Structure 1
């Protein structure tokens, strides 16, 4: 079973993401900020990271830079999931090593489509694309 690290300071968002991702057959690990997410990654890298941008302690952008500099840190597929929808934010995220970008609010279809685009899952139902 693949592992997805959900990094968001909102417990509600983490709960919704957990429900969606478990439905897509992921084991879910949660972290409420980038610093805690880095601790998780140091213990073992997940296959996927669903990452918020704006968080206390360490934001998603800073976490992503630290992740990509870790040994093996280029392997996890990182999907930003944020309210930041400006082209400058999207461009910065992709340039820093994010694989995809989802706008909040999100639903199962959106997450499934983006995870399929980056090769984390295969969509059996073409209506999800």
Structure 2
């Protein structure tokens, strides 16, 4: 006869971990909100509720014009951010990859520099 309760006991550390994570998450979310209400710093106004990420109101005419340079800069940021994410594992494994890994990364970086120079020459990074 197999004792199924011993199998369930093995999940107890996972359940404790999830409960602690949930409690810490709830504290990190709800404690600042409660402190703001108790101390009187919760004072919404038009400036606090205005748009701050994209630069234009979210609920307007969908055919209204907007500045596409914001999206171009965002795409360039993502490209160069991914490039930085590729550099860390490459640097860690450089001893194992040897000259072939070094040369491959130099070609990759050269392509990125050429792309950066092209974007700069086209004025994609200029903000007026």
Instruction: Please classify the TM superposition score into its range, dividing by the shorter chain length.
Output: under 0.3
Higher strand share: 1
Instruction: Please give the TM-score of this superposition, normalised by the length of structure 2.
Output: 0.19
Greater relative contact order (Cα < 8 A, sep 6+):
1
- TM-score normalized with structure 1 length: 0.19
Task: Give the structure with the larger helix fraction.
Answer: 2
Structure whose CA Rg is larger: 2
